[in-house]
Structure 1
């Protein structure tokens, strides 16, 4: 599978001429997808670009799977996010909250100025969620006639995740069973399975989220080196390409369905 988000694709923004972008944008119910990633440590076994690689693949395949004729494009991935909490391990590249908010608002504003009826920020990094939410609020206020929304791509796996996972709650957090399985399916040549080692999040707060799929209401700033010697939090040892294939198929199928629904809601 080709993961480069700039690769030629019938639904890649960068593969169109400006006339083609404008034509798609002005169709009723047009949707633009903006993937948002990060560059940060993912344990000793995954590349630092994992979040960007995964969300790029989800955006590409999910958009391509939407029904023929749907006016949808995906932009190049915003590859840099909020990764300050990982700086203790090195290898990361992070934006400030202010810079990232400005980037999201500028990119989103440019997309909407082209005439798209809706924009979907597809987030690939938990640490981005608050600033993505703020950007949605700002853009929605500035563009009251368009629909502005966002979703963490991992949440699109909810219909199948309990059937796929072997880990208990806590096993699918950072660089663990979920992300490592997807990586083994999509870019196994970049995964060092022998180095896969994580530990469960040890927190005194029961209300703090400890898993992608068991979020609690308490927000706590997390310095990852305080919780994991390797940087991985969860059970990467339980990952497999078979699980990754099923998760990826479910995620991209759900994204295609969501895009079709957004299109229908914005046709008028």
Structure 2
């Protein structure tokens, strides 16, 4: 049931008495992985985002010093994936449903006495949902510290392993995701079906982009026939192993930082 998560770090394996007796609960780090079940081209399974999140978190928790109390909640497999719903197999929650789930999970964690919750999101279509839910939880519970983090935002070497074009335009099911899946779940990757497909280029004179500071709202079928946005043909397990090692190292650091973090208050006097 714990998948890649070390069993001693898997929250559901605790008893209620374990939790009741846990010391310094306000600084224990509780991590909610959030993924998606959505198309990732003809070569990758629907589980990619969920698998990457749990794979990275599991590797990070293996490396984490045993003295730092941190526990992983069960992965939330479904996310807001309606940009991919024209491709069969994609399962999506609405923004309202996903927000409600995050809020109610957070409230349950708070009631148990914990005060630090990480939303470890691995799907690029829902960071804003995590951010809004995190803010609402903190507004509702002033002493609840909620961290809406994206799996790929910690320091890592991935872009150094990609071509400049892939680093700039690869957004979905390309080299990085395919490589790390070859490391995490190699038996589920159909590399012989991998394709390279990039989105249509914006005008050089335009300030707009598909992603970035001035984005256009799009769904996947607007910019890709295969469901791939990038080059999956250049993926290798060797790259995937290095990416997994690097990203998980970043997560060790961020978990340590969150454990050490203390809420700041501006003096109102």
- The TM-score with structure 1 as length reference comes to 0.90
Would you say 1:140 and 2:138 are equivalent positions? yes
Q: Which has the larger radius of gyration?
A: 2
> Alignment partner for residue 69 of structure 2, among 57, 71, 83?
71
In angstroms, what is the RMSD of aligned CA positions?
2.1
Deviates more, 1:56-65 or 1:118-127: 56-65
Once residues 142 and 267 of structure 1 are traced to their aligned partners in structure 2, the CA distance between those partners, rounded to angstroms, is 15
Alpha-carbon contact 2:80-2:92 (below 8 Å) kept: yes
Write out aligned runs for 1:179-194 (5 A). Answer: 179-194=177-192
Partner of 2:251: 255
Would you say 1:229 and 2:225 are equivalent positions? yes
Once residues 25 and 142 of structure 1 are traced to their aligned partners in structure 2, the CA distance between those partners, rounded to angstroms, is 24
Once residues 257 and 72 of structure 1 are traced to their aligned partners in structure 2, the CA distance between those partners, rounded to angstroms, is 13
Partner of 2:3: 4
Would you say 1:160 and 2:157 are equivalent positions? yes
Partner of 1:242: 238
Secondary structure at the residue paired with 2:61? helix
Partner of 1:48: 46
Secondary structure at the residue paired with 1:159? coil
- The TM-score with structure 2 as length reference comes to 0.89
Alpha-carbon contact 2:6-2:61 (below 8 Å) kept: no
Report the alpha carbon displacement of residue 28 of structure 1 after superposing the two structures with TM: 5.2
Write out aligned runs for 1:52-201 (5 A). Answer: 52-156=50-154, 158-168=155-165, 169-201=167-199
Alpha-carbon contact 2:38-2:89 (below 8 Å) kept: yes
Once residues 160 and 134 of structure 1 are traced to their aligned partners in structure 2, the CA distance between those partners, rounded to angstroms, is 29
Once residues 143 and 45 of structure 2 are traced to their aligned partners in structure 1, the CA distance between those partners, rounded to angstroms, is 40
Once residues 25 and 239 of structure 1 are traced to their aligned partners in structure 2, the CA distance between those partners, rounded to angstroms, is 45
Partner of 1:21: 19
Once residues 74 and 25 of structure 1 are traced to their aligned partners in structure 2, the CA distance between those partners, rounded to angstroms, is 17
Report the alpha carbon displacement of residue 209 of structure 1 after superposing the two structures with TM: 4.5
Secondary structure at the residue paired with 2:33? strand
Aligned residues: 260
C-alpha change, 1:61 and 1:23, in structure 2 (3 Å) is: farther
- Which whole-Å deviations, capped at 9, do the CAs of 1:169-190 have from their partners, x for residues lacking one? 3353100011101100111100
Report the alpha carbon displacement of residue 221 of structure 1 after superposing the two structures with TM: 2.4
Residue ranges of structure 1 left out of the alignment (5+ in a row): 211-215
Residue ranges of structure 2 left out of the alignment (5+ in a row): 265-269
Report the alpha carbon displacement of residue 146 of structure 1 after superposing the two structures with TM: 2.3
C-alpha change, 1:54 and 1:25, in structure 2 (3 Å) is: farther
C-alpha change, 1:231 and 1:3, in structure 2 (3 Å) is: farther
Partner of 1:213: none
Alpha-carbon contact 1:42-1:50 (below 8 Å) kept: yes
Report the alpha carbon displacement of residue 140 of structure 1 after superposing the two structures with TM: 1.0
- Which whole-Å deviations, capped at 9, do the CAs of 1:92-124 have from their partners, x for residues lacking one? 110011111100111111112211221110001
Alpha-carbon contact 2:170-2:198 (below 8 Å) kept: no
Once residues 243 and 180 of structure 1 are traced to their aligned partners in structure 2, the CA distance between those partners, rounded to angstroms, is 10
